[in-house]
Amino acid sequence: MMTQAYYTGISGLKTSSAGIDVISNNLANVNTVGFVASDYEFASLFEEALNDASSVITTDSVGLGTRLQSTPMVEQSGSYMSSDNSTSLAVMGDGWFAVQGAASNTPVYTRSGDFTFDVNNDLVTMDGEYVLGTKANNISGETLTGVVESVPLGDITTQEPLRFPKNLTYPAEPTTNVELLGNLGTDNETRTMGAELIDSEGVRNTLKIEFTQAEEQNDTGIVWNTVATVTAPDGTVLDTQSGTISFDERGALVESTLTSVNNNGTQVALDFGTEFNGVVAIANSDITASTISDGTPSGDLVGYDINQNGEVVATFTNGKQSSVGKVALYHFQNDQGLERISGTKFAASANSGDAFFYTDANGNNINGSQIMNYSLEGSNVDMTVSLTELIILQRSYDSNSQVITTADEMVQKALNMDA
């Protein structure tokens, strides 16, 4: 029995010490972004049954100590903290970010979304590992080939490092339509309207439309001659077109024969409106003029940001934006089966199963959980609980130490008795 006390005490020391190590590591990482705490589980060693001499029924048993069985992951979410960076991401609910080193083809998984764009505009962790996701494939070289509002999440086998060009150009979209609005009045005075036209090269040309009353007027209403001139920034006249615009006795638009102009190779429709919607000629009313035109000048990249849907958004100097990629969230059948690499990084294992994506009702891949930008998930260590457990484990360690001391004293007394 005294030897058994040694075994029990020593095993108690080992398990208490292991528990203290687990809790101490948790407390040391209480301020680590994305740290996932560990718990501890103890199991009893074999027990020796004690039988009553007068009965075959086992009435008691003597344990042989305990052992550390496992250190399971604490799955509850950590507290959420605000950040000044759109690239700081936090997962609301289930899911893991995937990151991958430059020399590795195997991703690891983390809840730490402390990401940033490096000098090459690659989305990376603070350790320089690439963040995985889906690219929009709307970039050719250093030119944006199309505007994308939302990037559909690709197949899990196609996820790749989110790397983007340092220089990116938003191509010009030429003007194709100009809507004119205003009141010409009825006085025989020259009126003008103007607009900016963007050509296919992104150059801002000028449209000027001049209105003068025609010498021959209708019996009712009023007729104006119109001349539209397109001028380049250096003063070169690119096109001139003329026509007439007629109004009835109310001042409502009846007809316009000036329908379009050529803007350095692009035909631009001129929309004077219908009746009172557009250009009118009403007496005793303020003379006004305004135009609405489409078209977008070219723009250079301002930078990349990440929105609350995990979309990587490129912003340009012309005020335009486009999604160019999407951060992916991975899921596992058994998160507890993930192999811990560090306090914030885990690898898939046979116990966790392979990573997968959630799908919607139409079978499209989705992240399945909300991604918050400008936020970080802190450690999920509960300091109050951890300190209490540390005290309990320390007392357990002291008690097992006392068991060994007592057993040793008993052995010494027994030996002295023999003497």
**Torsion angle of alpha carbons 155, 158, 161, 167, nearest 10°?**
-100
Give the pLDDT score at 16. 76
Amino acid in the structure at residue 291? T
Q: Which two tokens stand for residue 146?
A: 């199309």
Give the pLDDT score at 382. 86
Q: Domain boundary at 293, 318, 341, which?
A: 293
Give the pLDDT score at 66. 73
Question: Are residue 159 and residue 307 in the same domain, yes or no?
Answer: yes
Q: Is the dihedral of CA 25, 30, 31, 32 positive or negative?
A: positive
- For the chain, the average pLDDT equals 88
Give the pLDDT score at 244. 95
pLDDT above 70: percentage of residues in the chain:
90
Question: Are residue 384 and residue 371 in the same domain, yes or no?
Answer: no
- The answer on pLDDT for 49 being more than 60 is no
Question: Are residue 277 and residue 314 in the same domain, yes or no?
Answer: no
Which pLDDT band, with edges at 50, 70 and 90, does 6 fall under?
Answer: low
CA distances from 340 to 16, 34, 78, 124, 349 (A): 22, 13, 17, 21, 10
Say how many domains are in the chain: 3
Question: Are residue 88 and residue 164 in the same domain, yes or no?
Answer: yes
pLDDT tens for each residue of 104-134: 889 999 999 999 999 999 999 999 999 999 9
Give the pLDDT score at 140. 94
Task: Taking residues 173-189, report their average pLDDT.
Answer: 94
- The answer on pLDDT for 242 being more than 70 is yes
- The answer on pLDDT for 142 being more than 80 is yes
Which pLDDT band, with edges at 50, 70 and 90, does 408 fall under?
Answer: low
Q: Is the dihedral of CA 244, 249, 254, 260 positive or negative?
A: positive
Amino acid in the structure at residue 142? E
Instruction: In whole angstroms, give the CA distance from residue 61 to residue 44.
Output: 12
Question: Are residue 59 and residue 112 in the same domain, yes or no?
Answer: no
Question: Are residue 247 and residue 201 in the same domain, yes or no?
Answer: yes
Which pLDDT band, with edges at 50, 70 and 90, does 410 fall under?
Answer: confident
Question: Are residue 42 and residue 14 in the same domain, yes or no?
Answer: yes
Which pLDDT band, with edges at 50, 70 and 90, does 22 fall under?
Answer: confident
- The answer on pLDDT for 63 being more than 90 is no
- The answer on pLDDT for 35 being more than 80 is yes
pLDDT tens for each residue of 275-305: 999 999 999 899 999 999 999 999 999 999 9
Lowest mean pLDDT among 9-13, 264-268, 318-322: 9-13
Question: Are residue 101 and residue 113 in the same domain, yes or no?
Answer: yes
Q: Domain boundary at 270, 293, 316, which?
A: 293
Number of Cβ within 10 Å of residue 312's Cβ equals 27
Question: Are residue 7 and residue 24 in the same domain, yes or no?
Answer: yes
Give the pLDDT score at 419. 55
Question: Are residue 277 and residue 205 in the same domain, yes or no?
Answer: yes
Residue 153 structural domain: 80-169+302-377
Give the pLDDT score at 4. 66
Q: Domain boundary at 293, 315, 341, which?
A: 293
Question: Are residue 196 and residue 340 in the same domain, yes or no?
Answer: no
Question: Are residue 384 and residue 241 in the same domain, yes or no?
Answer: no
